[in-house]
Structure 1
Amino acid sequence: MAADPPPAGVPERWRGATGWWRRRSLRVRLTVVAAAVLALGLALSAWVFVDVLTRALVATIDEGIHQRAREAVALSDAHRLDGPIVTTDNTIVQVISRDGRIIGATGNTDRLVPLLSAESRAAALAEGGGRFLDSRPYGIPGVLRVTVLSADSGTTVIAARSFAEVQGSIRAAGHVLLIGTPLLMVLLAAASWLVIGRTLRPIDALRRGATEITGTARSRRLPVPEAHDEVHSLAMTLNDMLARLEDAGARQRALVSDAAHELRSPLASIRLQLEVALNHPEGQDWRETAEGALEDTLRLARLAEDLLALARMDEGRPSRREPVDLNELVSRTADRYGIIADLPAATLTVTGDAMDLGRVLTNLIDNAVRHRTAKVAVALTAIAPTRADPQNPRIAEITVTDDGPGIPAADRERVFDRFTRLDTARSRDDGGAGLGLAIVRTTLHAHGGTIHLTDASPGLTAVVRLPLT
């Protein structure tokens, strides 16, 4: 199946890339998308991890140098700077007087040159917290983390610690993430490939099962996975569809077979009459032969019309949808048979095809007339909604009753099947091909109506119900 054309204005290279992507299998596309999302997530997680680690280590250094600066401030305020300041964690401490002289320091720093100028010390005091300092001009390799506190009499205390250890830790973590993240991504992509493959395996089984189903296969079904998931629901739905198609195919084959069987009789009769007339022309009554051939031809025509009507009604809806006056339709159809219909005072209107509904009435009244003993009654009434179902619309009910031999209760549903003729008094040579009631039910279903047969004691009543407009 050809891919959808790309939108207008898209560059040719993008069109080619889009086409290539659409031609990939679903497993490949899902794996690529999952891997891309995983790569993005892992990269973002690595960046967040390094950032959080850096902030945590910097906060630890700031806390340490701030503590050492506080200790130096306490010594300065107590006038106890009578010797070198001692620290246990290699922290650099300088105590600077108001006039810029270093009056106290640790042994690992210069006692002549302050780490920060007067302006830098003032800025650091105003900002608070720690700051980075390039310590190479002071003969100390790397970067220092510096904080400044004020003491009494205008004295300031500078505390600093090398940032090299933190940089080493961050660099080591970065190397681990740089190597481990791609490996983890490859591992997760491989796991995604396997998981997606196992997830799509039932769909592949459905595809293989579908390829094995041919037009001549009978009662074939798609494999249903054990897991009650979306694929299971899809398989059940497809199997239901196959069952309906199988039933429809069986009905179609039965219809073709029955139609061929029904066509054989009139064709054979016509052929026999013509062969006899041609073989014995001197003693043949040609008028009688023509009348016999015409009778069989009319029978063929009726059968063809019934088959065409069934084919059209199998579409499931009327060919026309227009208001139909049931009072007029029932009255006009009953008058053709010399029957006075019992009609309501109010006009009842339905939506549908007047010609199809007229065929329904004609078939029902024709059956009743053909099998009556003395009379046929036709009535039209309106049924109001019941208390149990007040939302149900008003229904028009048409009844056609005869006083003939009736139909056994066990056969009252079977007579609506196509080409069904009972071996009773209601089955006669002029009774047609057994399509009349099938056409009636199919037509009524297309109009949203129903039909059922009830016992009239004696005789039979056909009850038709249609929703009113």
Structure 2
Amino acid sequence: MRIFGDLLSPSCWTVRTRVTAAATLFVGLLLVIVTMLFYQAVHRTVFEGLHDQGTLVVSDLATLVDETDPRGTLGVLDPDYTLLQVVGAEGGVLASSESLHGRGPLKVPEPRVVGRPEYRTVYVPGKGEVYLVSEKVRTGGGMRIVHAGAPINEFTQYRASFIGLLVAMALIATAAVGWIVSLSVRRALRPVRVMRGELAEITGGETDRRVTVPSPNDEMSDLAESVNVTLDRLADVMSRQRAFVADVSHELRSPLTGLRAQLEVALEHPEDEDWPAVARAALGDADRLQGIVSDLLILAKLGAGVEVERERVDLGELVRAEARRRVRRVPVEVEAAVGVTARVTPHHLVRVLTNLLDNAERHARSRVWVTVEAEGREAVLEVRDDGSGIAPEDRERIFWRFHRLPEGRARDAAGTGLGLTISRDIARAHGGTLVAADSDQGARFVLRIPRDKP
């Protein structure tokens, strides 16, 4: 029973079923209301016609009675109102039409006010349902009550058939609307079924597959284009991930291979080895491995969007503190404006500054300059050196993972090639940018991050 109940729940229905059910229910209710209103309109029209027509007939009959006070048989004044009767004050029938000849007075309440017609529907034996108009008339011979009735057997006889016809038409129209809506929704969702099938065929190794963009230009084509954009992004992510894995494997293999080779050689002739030297060499390779792993962990956290607590930091003070933290090969000149603050993760920003200063120190001939200033809503940090600079075609490559220029490898063979990559990812995580900009002399790195609101 529970499973049956779940199947009846709209949440288990398809989009086509839900839309069809909703549209059919709405149209069905609308047709029921329209049918009821139409029947009421027809009913009201018929009885309003009988009312107006009966008013004229009873008025003419009252005038006739007032002038002539007839006896016996009355002539029909209207072909619809064939039932005429004049009743005296004592309750006896004074005159009547041929249709009521020989019958007693009609058993209806006596009109309360003279000259004011009263209308009602009564049952007359042998005549069926009758729409009756009655009026009290004062004549020279006394009070008279005149009745004018129109048989409505045909209306009452066919009323059930008429209602049944209206209901049948409403049901047929509702079913037709449901069928049309179902077909329309099925046709509208056909591109979705095609896209679903194409997406189901895409495996993890197929990064070049895309879904078909249907025509014409509508919401479905927009959806297909959005799916293709998402697939493009996924393909780019997978491509970068594969390249990253390959680079990591290559970078980790070198120190591991060197470490293993050193240990294997030392173990072949342990008595001839200088074990402190072997340990120092192994420690150097271990330090390089530790540096690579640490940098990879930072990249993984930045790529995963791990939330890190931020605080309001004065960038000028941070730069001056980092420049004084250790003695470098070349002097570092700091020119920082006062009050340039931003909401950052301090140790992340220190990592960026350390990477930029280490890079500048590695390539500088005699000096490194660091400036901090405010430009509009941004805080700008620049690090410049007087080295050989960076060629324009290499200014983006240096931010690639594990990519190192020949000069950098020559000056620092132990580097991982991840410092600038990490620095740019940290800048992006703070809503900023890091670029290698044009410079008259040496390299110039420009970091821009949003300033803290006052």
TM-score category by the smaller chain?
0.7 to 0.9
> Which of residues 212, 216, 238 in structure 2 aligns to 1:249?
238
C-alpha contact (below 8 Å) 1:134/1:142 kept by paired residues = yes
Supply the AA of the counterpart residue of 2:133.
T
Pick closer, same or farther for the CA change 1:156–1:14 going to 2, 3 Å: farther
Instruction: Tell me the distance in 2 between the aligned counterparts of 1:14 and 1:296.
Output: 65
Alignment of 1:142-153 (within 5 A): 142-151=128-137, 153=139
Residues 302-335 of structure 1, C-alpha deviations (whole Å, 9 max, x = no match): 1111111111111336522122232332112112
Instruction: Tell me the distance in 2 between the aligned counterparts of 1:276 and 1:326.
Output: 51
Instruction: Tell me the distance in 2 between the aligned counterparts of 1:225 and 1:266.
Output: 53
> Which of residues 11, 17, 20 in structure 1 aligns to 2:5?
17
Pick closer, same or farther for the CA change 1:275–1:53 going to 2, 3 Å: same
Matched, 1:350 2:342: yes
Instruction: Tell me the distance in 1 between the aligned counterparts of 2:127 and 2:96.
Output: 19
Instruction: Tell me the distance in 1 between the aligned counterparts of 2:253 and 2:114.
Output: 112
Pick closer, same or farther for the CA change 1:142–1:112 going to 2, 3 Å: closer
Where does residue 370 of structure 1 map in the other structure?
362
Q: Secondary structure at the match of 1:215?
A: coil
Residues 246-278 of structure 1, C-alpha deviations (whole Å, 9 max, x = no match): 222221111111111111222222223233333
Instruction: Tell me the distance in 2 between the aligned counterparts of 1:147 and 1:235.
Output: 73
Pick closer, same or farther for the CA change 1:428–1:316 going to 2, 3 Å: farther
Where does residue 423 of structure 2 map in the other structure?
440
Residues 104-155 of structure 1, C-alpha deviations (whole Å, 9 max, x = no match): 43221136633255x43337976x552111212xxx3311111123545344
Where does residue 99 of structure 2 map in the other structure?
108
**Mind listing any 5+ residue stretches in structure 1 that lack a counterpart?**
1-12, 386-392
Alignment of 1:293-442 (within 5 A): 293-316=282-305, 319-335=308-324, 336-338=326-328, 339-344=331-336, 346-383=338-375, 385=376, 393=377, 395-423=378-406, 425-428=407-410, 430=412, 432-442=415-425
Matched, 1:271 2:260: yes
Where does residue 82 of structure 2 map in the other structure?
91
> How many correspondences in the alignment?
442
Pick closer, same or farther for the CA change 1:269–1:321 going to 2, 3 Å: same
Where does residue 8 of structure 1 map in the other structure?
none
Where does residue 21 of structure 2 map in the other structure?
32
Instruction: Tell me the distance in 1 between the aligned counterparts of 2:226 and 2:119.
Output: 68
Instruction: Tell me the distance in 2 between the aligned counterparts of 1:442 and 1:52.
Output: 75
> Which of residues 48, 56, 67 in structure 2 aligns to 1:67?
56
Instruction: Tell me the distance in 2 between the aligned counterparts of 1:50 and 1:378.
Output: 89
Once the two structures are TM-superposed, the CA of residue 403 in structure 1 deviates from its matched residue by 0.6
C-alpha contact (below 8 Å) 2:136/2:145 kept by paired residues = yes
Instruction: Tell me the distance in 2 between the aligned counterparts of 1:161 and 1:254.
Output: 97
Residues 328-381 of structure 1, C-alpha deviations (whole Å, 9 max, x = no match): 321121122444542446243321211111110000000000011111112222
Once the two structures are TM-superposed, the CA of residue 453 in structure 1 deviates from its matched residue by 1.8
Q: Secondary structure at the match of 1:69?
A: helix
Q: Secondary structure at the match of 1:30?
A: helix
Once the two structures are TM-superposed, the CA of residue 102 in structure 1 deviates from its matched residue by 4.1
C-alpha contact (below 8 Å) 2:309/2:345 kept by paired residues = yes
Residues 20-50 of structure 1, C-alpha deviations (whole Å, 9 max, x = no match): 4243433334333433334333333333322
Q: Secondary structure at the match of 1:108?
A: helix
Cα RMSD after superposing both structures: 2.8
Where does residue 155 of structure 2 map in the other structure?
166
Once the two structures are TM-superposed, the CA of residue 172 in structure 1 deviates from its matched residue by 2.5
C-alpha contact (below 8 Å) 1:318/1:446 kept by paired residues = no
Pick closer, same or farther for the CA change 1:287–1:204 going to 2, 3 Å: same
Instruction: Tell me the distance in 2 between the aligned counterparts of 1:456 and 1:27.
Output: 63
Alignment of 1:207-222 (within 5 A): 207-222=196-211
**Mind listing any 5+ residue stretches in structure 2 that lack a counterpart?**
none
C-alpha contact (below 8 Å) 1:53/1:170 kept by paired residues = no
Q: Secondary structure at the match of 1:121?
A: coil
TM, length-normalised to structure 1: 0.84
C-alpha contact (below 8 Å) 1:331/1:340 kept by paired residues = no
Instruction: Tell me the distance in 1 between the aligned counterparts of 2:310 and 2:19.
Output: 49
Pick closer, same or farther for the CA change 1:67–1:246 going to 2, 3 Å: same
TM, length-normalised to structure 2: 0.87
Instruction: Tell me the distance in 1 between the aligned counterparts of 2:322 and 2:367.
Output: 16
Matched, 1:449 2:435: no
Instruction: Tell me the distance in 2 between the aligned counterparts of 1:168 and 1:19.
Output: 45
Once the two structures are TM-superposed, the CA of residue 299 in structure 1 deviates from its matched residue by 1.5
Once the two structures are TM-superposed, the CA of residue 290 in structure 1 deviates from its matched residue by 3.0
Pick closer, same or farther for the CA change 1:228–1:81 going to 2, 3 Å: farther
Pick closer, same or farther for the CA change 1:178–1:344 going to 2, 3 Å: closer
Instruction: Tell me the distance in 2 between the aligned counterparts of 1:188 and 1:379.
Output: 73
Once the two structures are TM-superposed, the CA of residue 199 in structure 1 deviates from its matched residue by 2.6
Supply the AA of the counterpart residue of 1:348.
V
